[in-house]
A = this chain, B = another copy of it.
């Protein structure tokens, strides 16, 4: 992990960009802390870190103000990272299916999501290794984001993640519904009730499938980008129950 830039934001938060091999990332930490702080991994939407920066920063500020460190990395094939012809083709096929107004074939969802999950999850684990080796950051670790299938797989395979706030706003391969039964950590799942590109019933089925004893669904009105402000506060309170 190599830090490539460092700046103090107006509220004293330290923002450091880094690279982990070829993967760019950002780490936000409190201006001052007397003991190692817990960590929240914030997974970006698949827009690229640069485009998602304003909303990532807003979430980071909320979390850092509550005493957490926040780390994020660029997803595979996003932003300035090398593209994948297969992923591009899957996105094209997805957009074509959505434009045709029909349901999206499971086969397209599998091609779009499964390789992304397989590549992203070890990258988040390597990020955890690197960030947790910094003396100012301790555990426990929360995960908040992003592409829900990545969060699902991480919750299954990464024992250092103690609680996850997931956004049911992206496609989930049907094969992963079974995998969801293996998740046992506390979950809070956000659902936008009228999310244009998202299958509400599949999201409810996924919520039902998670094996966790403590899982809460927060469903709100509106489309994909309409998550209400107050869910930021609700997310903080969820993490406070499990990471503090």
Interface residues of A (CB under 8 A from B): 193, 204, 207-208, 212-221, 228, 230, 233-234, 237, 241
The closest CB in chain B to the CB of A201 belongs to B204
Which one of B204, B228, B233 lies within 8 Å of A237 (CB-CB)? Answer: B233
Find out whether the CB atom of A237 lies under 8 angstroms from the CB atom of B230: yes
Chain B residues lying within 8 Å of A228, measured Cβ to Cβ, are 214, 216
Q: List 27 A-B contacts (CB under 8 A).
A: A193-B208, A193-B217, A204-B204, A207-B219, A212-B221, A213-B221, A214-B220, A214-B221, A214-B228, A215-B220, A215-B221, A216-B218, A216-B219, A216-B220, A216-B228, A217-B217, A217-B218, A217-B219, A217-B220, A218-B218, A219-B219, A230-B237, A230-B241, A233-B237, A234-B234, A234-B237, A237-B237
* Alpha-carbon distance A215/B222, docked complex (angstroms): 10
Chain B residues lying within 8 Å of A207, measured Cβ to Cβ, are 219
* Alpha-carbon distance A217/B193, docked complex (angstroms): 10
Chain B residues lying within 8 Å of A217, measured Cβ to Cβ, are 193, 217-220
Chain B residues lying within 8 Å of A204, measured Cβ to Cβ, are 204
Chain B residues lying within 8 Å of A234, measured Cβ to Cβ, are 234, 237
Q: A193 → chain B, closest Cβ, in Å?
A: 7
The closest CB in chain B to the CB of A220 belongs to B216
Q: A108 → chain B, closest Cβ, in Å?
A: 27
Chain B residues lying within 8 Å of A193, measured Cβ to Cβ, are 208, 217
5 interchain residue pairs of minimum CB distance: A217-B219, A216-B220, A215-B221, A218-B218, A216-B218
The closest CB in chain B to the CB of A193 belongs to B208
* Alpha-carbon distance A237/B237, docked complex (angstroms): 11
The closest CB in chain B to the CB of A215 belongs to B221
* Alpha-carbon distance A233/B233, docked complex (angstroms): 12
